[in-house]
Amino acid sequence: MKVLVSIISLIAFLLVALSGPLYKYGVVELGTAFAGFKFGVYTGIAALVLFALQVILKRKTITIGSAVIAVVFSAIAIIVPISMMSKAKDVPPIHDISTDLVNPPSFVAIAPLRADAPNPVEYAGIEATEQQREAYPELKTLTYSQSQPMLVKATEQAINNLGWELVNTDADTGIIEATDTTAWFGFKDDVVVRVTDNGSERLVDIRSKSRVGGSDLGKNAARIHALMDELDVVLNK
């Protein structure tokens, strides 16, 4: 039974751990990858049940190594998907976040790159706006005293510091576009920053949008916060 428990717990772990890379490199479709999550949870639970039976019926066959494998691998297979589902319940099911909800920055150079993406390049609309206002009221247009060219350069530097791919910069219009690729699943989420003059101050708006998925699990809002923080770091050097 010791070997059986170890094998099942390892399978549970691999179902969850490999779902992202297999999708990222085009081996499986997204639906199949998410199915791996579901079956990983079931398999992890089965492994823990078998381990409990082993403890009750064949305690002498248990070793520290086999116990660690069974508990750790099964726990990871169960906790990771459940934590993601819990996160999905805590955030609105939207994937398009902007600091300007009335006139969000538009994707220009990135638009052709999203031509085949399930989520269209256009702004998500009034429903997403209302949900964002409730979930992320702190995300608003930023104001700076620095010049537009300085802010454009600082934004480029912040994007590079965060490890995103800088797609295009239009200094004349103050538009900077970039793509952030997530490590595990390889999801590509796009970011556009708009720097505009407003008398004695400059306005900076940031928009982040996922190419796939109905809910972003709060990732786009977190990405905007990360860029805001990194921009402040760059400007204050």
Give me the percent of the chain exceeding a pLDDT of 70.
Answer: 100
In total, how many domains does the chain have?
2
At 203 the pLDDT is 98
Residues 85 and 107 in one domain: no
Q: Which of 60, 90, 120 is the last residue of a domain?
A: 90
Supply φ then ψ for residue 194, to 5 degrees: -120, 125
- Residues 97, 115: Cα–Cα separation, whole Å: 19
Q: How far is the C-alpha of 60 from the C-alpha of 70, rounded, in Å?
A: 16
3-state secondary structure of 98: strand
Q: Are residues 115 and 230 in the same domain?
A: yes
Mark whether 104 and 83 lie in a shared domain. Answer: no
Domain end marker among 90, 106, 131: 90
The residue among 59, 90, 121 that closes a domain is 90
127 band by pLDDT with thresholds 50, 70 and 90: confident
Instruction: Report pLDDT digits (tens) over 129-185.
Output: 999 999 999 999 999 999 999 999 999 999 999 999 999 999 999 999 999 999 999
For every residue of 34-64, DSSP letters joined together read: HHHHHHHHHHHHHHHHHHHHHHHH-GGG--H
Helix axes 30-57, 64-90, angle to 10 degrees: 140
- Is there a single domain that holds both residue 198 and residue 139? yes
* CA–CA distance, 237 with 71 (Å, rounded to integer): 47
How far is it, in rounded angstroms, from Cα 114 to Cα 44? 37
At a CB cut-off of 8 Å and minimum separation 6, what does 108 contact? 168, 170, 175, 177, 192
- Widest pairwise Cα distance in the chain: 78
